[in-house]
Structure 1
Amino acid sequence: MSWHMADIWENIAQAIPDKPAIVEGSKRYSWAEYEQRAAKLAQLFTDHGLEPGAKIAIYAYNCAEYMEAQFAAFKARICPVNVNYRYLEAELTHVINNSDSEALVYHAQFAPRVAAIRGQLQHVRLFLEIDDGSGEHLEGAVDFESALQAASPMPIIPRSNDDLYMLYTGGTTGMPKGVMYDHKTFASALFTKGFEMREMELPQGADGFGPLAQALHAAGANGRSIPACPIMHGTGMWIGAMIPHALGSCVVLFNNKHFDPEALWSLTEREKVTDITIVGDVFAKPMLAALDNSKAAGKPYDLSSLQLMGSSGVMWSAEVKKGLLDHIEMTIIDSMGSTEGSMGASVTTRENTAIDKTASFEMAETTKILTEEGEEVKAGSGEIGMICNGGMVPLGYYKDEAKSAATFKTFHGVRYSIPGDFATVEADGTVTLLGRGSVCINSGGEKIFPEEVEEALKTHDSIYDCLVVGVPDDRFGEKVTAVLSLAEGHGLDETVLYDHVRGKLADYKTPRAFLVVEDVPRAANGKPGYKDAKNIALKMLDPVTA
């Protein structure tokens, strides 16, 4: 019985060929058109020598071409690799080379950055360029649309449930690493979660998805989903695109280069969207402010079509959820999870907001809160344990056996994913998330490894020593903050330091505050004192409340 993503989407395309599948501005593709465009791209990849098991990197903003390239990869039994569009040369090179990608699909505006690293790319044989109106072009690159139109559709081929699917994540792993799944484990587990949230029964294999999609459309229960967050991340792709697609829903692509809540609400109103996927307060707070402003101006949006809003990965405060529900009667699903697996969720409606509290989740049946010895934490005990997901467990990290062994462990005969989150279990069985056991910073849904930022800072002559920590921030969850000591004879120039780090790392990793201390806290053996550094930062930034 197939659980291959390509088989599932092909089955849906055969069942509802004329129904909408993808919308991006003026681009509107039915399921039949979506499938045929992907089939042509799959043949293009094959014509360039990519064989089953190969990898392709996708380096683009939210767009129809991103979805098509991913579908095409699945069709040809190739593994798509997500690339964070915020990455600069070093990070970009690492992901493309580490993943062994043989093709790069990218927006033309990134051509200068690709050109800068072209000579370092070890395996790439095809540069497939998406025309975005920027006027940029990489010499020798193949135009996406022209090549697609010239190709013949690839015939449907037999596939294996064991084919590899991979999503790259920063997480607690330092440099980005590929989290590996086989198609059966990934698709069956992901769609089980999505269907359960909608109180629907999951089909038993790929052949059941088409008839279900057909029945939903016949009943007028078809959905339209906007992944408002980047589809290069698991939250946007998995919750905002893949789960809706499994229901035969249309995915409406939102221009996410610069988040504009007014544009999002206008698109929701215009396209009669039923589902929106965001990343916690970093999206929800400006979205709520836009609703408040439109209501105060006497021009409220018509959001009567909206039924569900989902989020995963960062804090989504109860107060903001309640504010959104004051404007919209819908269901809010706040998932607790990571690229390494889903762990639990909280469901909020107008009727149950009183019982909802920030960072409180009901565990999935397969999730346990365990001690380091693998014993369950007792409900109401106040004991802190590791969040261990025993359901959607990856195969491991691509080409990193040591990190795989540290993250994916077996206790009492059950294999768990343990990405580093710690929590307590309340007396009622709900889980209160405490945060990462490591020093990983989560800012606006992006995960930042402090040592990488510290090393970039230390290459500047004015820095003697430094530690980087995350401090609470109302909008982004955490603000990247550098606690540093200066080299003799140097003063602090925040603009210079900001530009220095920004030239080496993605913007979201660059500190937003630089705090000078006489001595950066470290133990006698030189190990960093992150806890002390964070306390120092809190006192210096807000001495009244610290």
Structure 2
Amino acid sequence: MVLNVADLFEHAVDTAPDRTALVCGPRRLTFAELEARSNRLAHHLAAQGIGTGDHVAIYSTNSTEVVETMLALYKLRAVAINVNFRYTESELLYILDNADVVGLLHQRGTSARVAAVLPKAPKVRHVLVVEDGTADDGTAAGYGAVEYESALAGQSPERDFGPRDPGDRYLLYTGGTTGRPKGVMWRHEDVWRVLGGGTDFVTGEPLTDEWQQARDGNNGPLVRMCPAPLMHGQAQWAMFGSLLATHTVVLMPKFDARELWETVQAEKVQVIALIGDAMARPMIEVYQEGDYDASSVVAISNTAALISPAVKQAFIETFPNTFLTDAIGSSETGFNGIGMIADTSDDARGPRVKGHAALIIVDEENRPLQPGSGTIGRLARGGNLPLGYYKDPEKTARLFIEVDGQRYTVPGDLAVYEDDGTITLLGRGDQCINTAGEKVFPEEVEGIVKSHPGVFDALVVGVPDERLGARVGALVQWREEAEPDLDSLIAFAREHLAGYKIPRSYWYVDEIVRTPAGKPDYGTARTYAAEHPTSAEVAVTAGTVGAKGA
């Protein structure tokens, strides 16, 4: 079987060539047009000597050119390297060096940054520049960048490339909030199995026919919106899983809640894939304030970051006839389970999902836990697994464990089995706060703090404490129309949280810093807390809680 992303995409093209494949802003491409442009780019890149195993970085916000570039690289058996488009010069240089990048695609607006970095990145031998509305000041021409459309001009649109292999490499850079970004290495077949639809997400059954995904999708094509940036794995695989099934993918050049609902209405979007509160909260608030037609939407799915109870409840009440789901997974495991979003107003824990046969929870000694044990353990995934972290054998060794003779990845997500065998995700272990021997999961506390009517966003971090080891701290972004009212917030939190979970130190901030995909940036939050005086402190004595400070 041919189980390579490029081959599977070509099956989709052959199945539905005239169907709209991609919409991004004003640009629209059919499957045949997306194929032809990707082929033209692939021929251009091949003429520059880029081929099997070569790494090409993509430093850009969402565009049709980004998708074309990824497909072109996979057609050549090369590797796309995702780069956060917000990265500074030093961060960009780190990725170019760590990933051994030989080619780069970037937007015109980042030319000055690229120009400053390239002299320090001698391996990069070819650069493409995509127009983004920024005036051409000649900077990109100075380092020999080729304008994207010029690169395609005159190239063949034909699919005349050599055979590919299921073992061709896919590389996803992830992390960076607690340290340097790291590249997770996968074989094409394995990552497709766990993220791209190669295994049925509901039944857990693997596809046995390489044409099945395109054929089944063609029997019931959908319009799917992927509003997150494609530098994030969730967005990449929401997109690829849809394209391989011949569905129409709607991308957003950048996330904007009002534009999102206008696009949903215009394109008759049926499925929306979002990432946590950073998307979900502005989406639901804008929808409730406006007059949008979202009658086409049949499903809204969340993954990669948690949605707070209040926001979940708002979606339930606003879209009572829409399938609302939470899915869990990671760059190191792929899909780990899915569950319906139900009335969770009294439960601030993470998503509760139905797992699958390849997923277990293990204790500190790597022994499998049983449903109903009540013991917090680490999620472990078997079956189709990544190869490890690129150029990091030490972290790779820590990623894998062996249980009963089978190999599993254990990236650090903590969870608990419920009595009925479902799994509740609690959070990433390296973010867990140990305060006086009690474990506090930031996600749970954040969910409650963000449910207070005066709070727009919040992040919870551990703060060093001589007596407790660590105390719970919170960065809080109050709503613009709200006056900070800590006593009210504490009273609200005590209705839902044990006393030791309530934050004791608060920093009031104008904006919570998150990654471009909306995931929490705990590293930046901890740095801010360490470098700035608190806005308020909470005293906890004899069972009473009181606030002092601004």
Measured against the shorter chain, the TM-score band is 0.7 to 0.9
Q: Percentage identity across aligned positions?
A: 33
**Distance verdict in 2 for CA 1:26–1:196, change over 3 Å:** same
Measured in 1, the distance between the counterparts of 2:170 and 2:12 equals 20
Contact (CA 8 Å) 1:172, 1:419: kept in 2 or not? no
Is the aligned partner of 1:147 residue 2:130? Answer: no
Which of the numbers 403, 408, 415 marks the counterpart of 1:411?
403
Amino acid at match of 2:148: F
Paired residues for 1:14-93 under 5 Å: 14-93=14-93
Paired residues for 1:407-446 under 5 Å: 407-439=399-431
Deviations 1:244-293 (A, max 9, x none): 1121011111121xx32111111111100111111111211111111221
Contact (CA 8 Å) 2:19, 2:30: kept in 1 or not? yes
Measured in 2, the distance between the counterparts of 1:388 and 1:538 equals 39
Measured in 2, the distance between the counterparts of 1:409 and 1:77 equals 30
| Paired position in structure 2 for 1:466 | none
| Paired position in structure 1 for 2:459 | 478
> Which SS does the other structure have where 2:212 is aligned?
helix
Which of the numbers 156, 161, 166 marks the counterpart of 1:156?
161
Is the aligned partner of 1:183 residue 2:181? Answer: no
Which of the numbers 304, 316, 324 marks the counterpart of 1:325?
316
Measured in 2, the distance between the counterparts of 1:2 and 1:516 equals 52
Measured in 2, the distance between the counterparts of 1:27 and 1:189 equals 30
Measured in 2, the distance between the counterparts of 1:306 and 1:122 equals 48
**Distance verdict in 2 for CA 1:97–1:515, change over 3 Å:** closer
Deviations 1:503-538 (A, max 9, x none): xxxx966449855799x9xxxxxxxxxxxx9xx997
Q: How far does residue 372 in structure 1 lie from its aligned partner after superposition? A: 2.6
> Which SS does the other structure have where 1:438 is aligned?
helix
**Distance verdict in 2 for CA 1:425–1:12, change over 3 Å:** same
Q: How far does residue 25 in structure 1 lie from its aligned partner after superposition? A: 2.2
| Paired position in structure 2 for 1:207 | 211
Contact (CA 8 Å) 1:481, 1:514: kept in 2 or not? no
Deviations 1:348-402 (A, max 9, x none): 26xx547995412222221111013221123222212111111342110011111
Paired residues for 1:264-343 under 5 Å: 264-294=260-290, 299=291, 301-328=292-319, 329-342=321-334
| Paired position in structure 1 for 2:488 | none
Gaps of 5+ in 1: 442-468, 485-493, 499-506, 521-532
Is the aligned partner of 1:385 residue 2:377? Answer: yes
Q: How far does residue 162 in structure 1 lie from its aligned partner after superposition? A: 0.7
Amino acid at match of 2:407: R
Measured in 1, the distance between the counterparts of 2:196 and 2:530 equals 49
| Paired position in structure 2 for 1:224 | 223
> Which SS does the other structure have where 2:3 is aligned?
coil
Measured in 2, the distance between the counterparts of 1:361 and 1:164 equals 30
Q: How far does residue 64 in structure 1 lie from its aligned partner after superposition? A: 0.6
Does 261-270 or 423-432 show the bigger shift?
Answer: 423-432
Contact (CA 8 Å) 1:213, 1:248: kept in 2 or not? yes
| Paired position in structure 2 for 1:457 | none
> Which SS does the other structure have where 1:196 is aligned?
coil
Q: How far does residue 432 in structure 1 lie from its aligned partner after superposition? A: 2.2
TM-score for the superposition, normalised by structure 1 = 0.78
**Distance verdict in 2 for CA 1:67–1:514, change over 3 Å:** closer
Measured in 1, the distance between the counterparts of 2:123 and 2:340 equals 47
Gaps of 5+ in 2: 434-441, 451-455, 466-506, 512-519
Measured in 1, the distance between the counterparts of 2:96 and 2:345 equals 45
Measured in 1, the distance between the counterparts of 2:335 and 2:364 equals 18
Which of the numbers 248, 258, 279 marks the counterpart of 1:262?
258
Is the aligned partner of 1:233 residue 2:214? Answer: no
Q: How far does residue 170 in structure 1 lie from its aligned partner after superposition? A: 1.2
Amino acid at match of 1:333: T
Contact (CA 8 Å) 1:57, 1:104: kept in 2 or not? yes
**Distance verdict in 2 for CA 1:380–1:71, change over 3 Å:** same
Amino acid at match of 1:344: N
